[in-house]
């Protein structure tokens, strides 16, 4: 019974999702702003405030319309001392005649990753104890 | 200024995050905290008169590199492969891991780092050096900071040389 409840909770859990559209220069064209507000940053390229995007932008601007979606899991972001984890994906599309438009999907995953972190910490601590 | 993505990788508990924190924040903590996924930060350094913005990816340790999500390596120009001098098990996959990484990113600059130098005597270090098949480029201590800055500057020089 409990397992079924857990499964139902998992299935019905709402995953926060944000979608950001960027042009070839890294400026935001549109954003759902459902996880964080991009409004204060709209006047400058994303690479100027996100080292994560800066580090992969040369890859993103070379995506083609037929390139499969790129999935980068478990990216840690720190804001005001609070750590959050997001799964990210990237895709190239044509949007309102703008090509390339880079789609950046962000899925909030902090709760699950924190559980995994605790389990992994325990596994690694035990392995280290055995080795030393 | 040139910007380059650099991956810090290797087995768990070898000190990747400690090297990351030493280099970026000049901080060190004895407390071991497992990294999950990836964290990214950057630091600008000067090498050979050129400014380089290093975009560092500190990724979760894996026992072998083929377990790391391939997407983490996309666009990387530099790789820092870290082993732990105090744990022989972290040397076991060094040859195959380095081969794997060199094959995955053939144009990147790779540096092999043996960390936790502070835990060994000179004699112990020499013994390990003679016994391993794959030699390291730098022996470092994230705890004391020994050779950490030098290692990153050397990598920056390689990135500059590859860039031009």
pLDDT digit string (tens) for A22-39? 999 999 999 999 999 999
Distances (CA, A) of B71 to A17, A102, A117, B37, B113: 20, 17, 21, 12, 23
A1 band by pLDDT with thresholds 50, 70 and 90: very low
Distance (Å, whole) CA A90 – CA A21? 10
Percent of chain A scored above 70 by pLDDT? 89
pLDDT value, residue A132: 75
Rounded Cα distance between A86 and A71, Å, is 11
Q: What ipTM did this prediction achieve?
A: 0.92
Mutation to test the A interface, candidates B8, B17, B30, B37, most A Cβ within 10 Å? B37
Residues 6 or more apart in contact with residue A54 via CB below 8 angstroms: A46, A47, A48, B3, B42, B53, B55
Query: Among the listed ranges A60-69, A80-89, B143-152, which one has the minimum average pLDDT value?
Result: A80-89
Q: What is the pLDDT of residue B9?
A: 97
CB environment B106-120: b (16+ within 10 A), e (fewer): eebbbbbbbbbbeeb
Tens digits of per-residue pLDDT, B109-138? 999 999 999 999 999 999 999 999 889 999
Which residues make Cβ contacts (< 8 Å) with residue A64, sequence separation at least 6?
Answer: A92, A100
Residue with tokens 């050779």: B147
pTM of the entire predicted model: 0.92
**What does the pLDDT average to over B78-103?**
94
Nearest 10 degrees: Cα torsion B146, B149, B153, B159: 100
Is a pLDDT exceeding 80 seen at residue A59? Answer: yes
A72: chain B residues, CB-CB within 8 Å? 38, 69, 71-72, 74
Preferred mutation among B55, B73, B107, B159 to probe A, highest tally of A CBs within 10 A: B55
Q: Binning pLDDT at 50, 70 and 90, where does residue A12 land?
A: low
Distance separating alpha carbons of residues B15 and B84, to the nearest angstrom: 7
**In which band, very low, low, confident or very high, does the pLDDT at A5 lie, cut at 50, 70 and 90?**
low
The predicted pLDDT at position B31 comes to 92
Q: What is the mean predicted confidence (pLDDT) over A41-65?
A: 96
What 3-state class would DSSP assign to B2? strand
Does residue A94 carry a pLDDT above 70?
yes
- B13 CB neighbours in chain A (<8 A) are 124, 127-128
Contacts of A55 in chain B (CB under 8 A): 3, 5, 40, 42, 55, 57, 75
pLDDT at A3: 55
For chain A, what percent of residues have pLDDT higher than 90?
82
Q: What pLDDT does A2 receive? A: 46
pLDDT over 60 (residue A91): yes
Percent of chain B with pLDDT over 70: 100
Alpha carbons B62 and B76: distance in angstroms, whole number: 18
Which chain B residue lies closest to A61 (C-alpha atoms)?
B75
| CA nearest neighbour of A104 among A17, A4, A41 | A17
Quick one: pLDDT band at residue A11, thresholds 50, 70, 90?
low
Q: Tell me: the pLDDT tens digits for B143-154?
A: 999 999 999 999
For residue range B27-61, list pLDDT tens digits in order: 999 999 999 999 999 999 999 999 999 999 999 99
| Contact A73/B at CB under 8 A | yes
Token look-up 């962000």 returns: A106
């Amino acid at each position: 019974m409990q397992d079924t409840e857990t499964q139902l909770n998992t299935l019905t859990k709402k995953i926060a999702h944000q979608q950001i559209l960027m042009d070839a220069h890294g400026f935001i064209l549109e954003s759902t702003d459902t996880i964080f507000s991009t409004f204060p940053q709209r006047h400058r390229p994303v690479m100027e405030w996100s080292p994560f995007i800066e580090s992969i932008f040369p890859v993103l601007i070379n995506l083609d319309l037929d390139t499969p979606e790129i999935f980068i899991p478990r990216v840690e972001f720190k804001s005001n001392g609070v750590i959050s984890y997001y799964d990210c994906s990237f895709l190239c599309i044509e949007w309102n005649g703008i090509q390339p438009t880079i789609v950046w999907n962000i899925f909030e995953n902090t709760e699950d990753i924190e559980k995994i972190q605790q389990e992994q910490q325990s596994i690694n601590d035990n392995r280290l104890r055995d080795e030393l | 200024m040139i910007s380059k993505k650099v991956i810090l990788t290797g087995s768990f508990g070898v000190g990747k995050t400690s090297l990351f924190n030493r280099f970026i924040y000049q901080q060190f903590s004895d407390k071991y905290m497992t990294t999950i996924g990836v964290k990214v930060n950057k630091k600008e350094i000067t090498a050979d008169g050129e400014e380089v913005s290093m975009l560092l990816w500190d990724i979760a340790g894996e026992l072998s590199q083929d377990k790391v999500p391939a997407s983490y390596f996309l666009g990387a120009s530099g790789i820092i492969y870290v082993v732990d001098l105090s744990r022989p098990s972290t040397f076991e996959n060094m040859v195959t891991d380095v081969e794997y990484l060199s094959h995955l990113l053939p144009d990147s600059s790779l540096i092999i780092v043996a960390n936790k130098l502070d835990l060994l005597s000179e004699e112990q270090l020499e013994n390990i050096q003679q016994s391993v098949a794959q030699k390291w480029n730098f022996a470092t201590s994230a705890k004391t900071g020994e050779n950490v800055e030098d290692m990153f500057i050397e990598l920056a020089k390689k990135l500059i040389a590859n860039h031009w």
